[in-house]
């Protein structure tokens, strides 16, 4: 008998029991997915994630003991191979940025939960960033409403080369330097050099800013992708 494929192991963290049950039922209906634990607080989510080492943690932003953003940060620090999808009812560009800065790869509004959460889980399990279409629009509007100051002497004509565009796209997809090096057939040190040059050239200071740059310049087709 052939060995069955490994199941995707998921931990659900939300302080409302009905929400936990609803999400659990939604995800258990997917073949190959297994809910391995439930948590009612941010602290419990961190503890169970550390103990169970799930592939995916779904965590609400508004949680007792420890909010979802700090819980995400601690989960990612303790378990680098565990990915996080954040749930929230808040439509805020600043909150999206904080969530991504904390290390989450997925951001789903509770109003879109039934339709978008399975897509988010699938994309994040494949190490892809996932923002629902509505969230993507929020982030883009945030860019349009932000005034950017040009630093004196900064070259406003600096544009990424075709190779740098490739690396920006791969970084925005959440791929590590080693994976990028393998895909492009170049040395890891070369990827690191390109990454440093890209950040300097474009005036970026974090991976979140790089992701936003990729979105704004339509370099990242994976956002909101279909499962």
Third-level CATH fold of 8-143: Rossmann fold (3.40.50)
Q: How far apart are CA 227 and CA 224, in angstroms?
A: 9
**Does this chain's domain 8-143 share its CATH topology with 154-216?**
no
Task: Give the model's pLDDT for residue 55.
Answer: 97
| Count helices and strands in the chain by DSSP H and E runs | 10, 6
Predicted TM-score (pTM) of the model is 0.63
Task: Answer for the pair 47, 57: CB distance below 8 angstroms, yes or no.
Answer: no
Write the pLDDT tens digit of every residue in 189-201: 888 888 888 887 7
Third-level CATH fold of 154-216: Arc Repressor Mutant, subunit A (1.10.10)
How is residue 24 written in tokens?
């659990």
**Burial of residue 24 (number of CB atoms within 10 Å: 0-12, 13-18, 19+):** middle
Write the pLDDT tens digit of every residue in 16-67: 999 999 999 999 999 999 999 999 999 999 999 999 999 999 999 988 888 8
Q: How far apart are CA 75 and CA 101, in angstroms?
A: 13
Instruction: Give the residue among 101, 112, 103 at the shortest CA–CA distance from 84.
Output: 103
| In the chain, % of residues over pLDDT 70 | 84
Would you list the domain boundaries of the chain?
A: 8-143, 154-216
Write the pLDDT tens digit of every residue in 162-221: 888 888 888 887 888 899 999 899 888 888 888 888 887 787 777 787 888 887 776 654
């Amino acid at each position: 008998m052939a060995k069955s494929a490994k199941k995707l192991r998921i931990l659900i963290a939300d302080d409302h029991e009905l929400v936990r049950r609803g999400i659990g039922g939604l995800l258990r209906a997917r073949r190959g997915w297994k809910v391995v634990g439930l948590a009612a607080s941010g602290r419990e989510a961190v503890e169970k994630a550390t103990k169970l080492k799930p592939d995916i943690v779904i965590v609400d932003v508004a949680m007792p003991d420890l909010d979802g953003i700090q819980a995400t940060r601690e989960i990612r620090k303790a378990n680098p191979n565990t990915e996080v999808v954040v749930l929230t009812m808040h439509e805020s560009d600043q909150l999206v940025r904080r969530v991504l800065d904390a290390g989450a790869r997925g951001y789903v509004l509770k109003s879109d939960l039934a339709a978008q959460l399975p897509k988010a889980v699938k994309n994040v399990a494949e190490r892809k960033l996932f923002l629902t279409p509505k969230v993507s629009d929020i982030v883009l509007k945030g860019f349009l409403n932000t005034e950017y100051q040009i630093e004196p002497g900064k070259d406003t004509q600096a544009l990424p080369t075709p190779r740098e565009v490739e690396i920006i796209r791969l970084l925005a997809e959440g791929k590590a330097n080693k994976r990028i090096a393998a895909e492009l057939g170049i040395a890891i040190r070369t990827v690191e050099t390109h990454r440093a040059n890209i950040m300097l050239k474009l005036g970026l200071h974090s991976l979140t800013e790089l992701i936003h740059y990729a979105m704004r310049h339509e370099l990242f087709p994976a956002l909101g992708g279909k499962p």
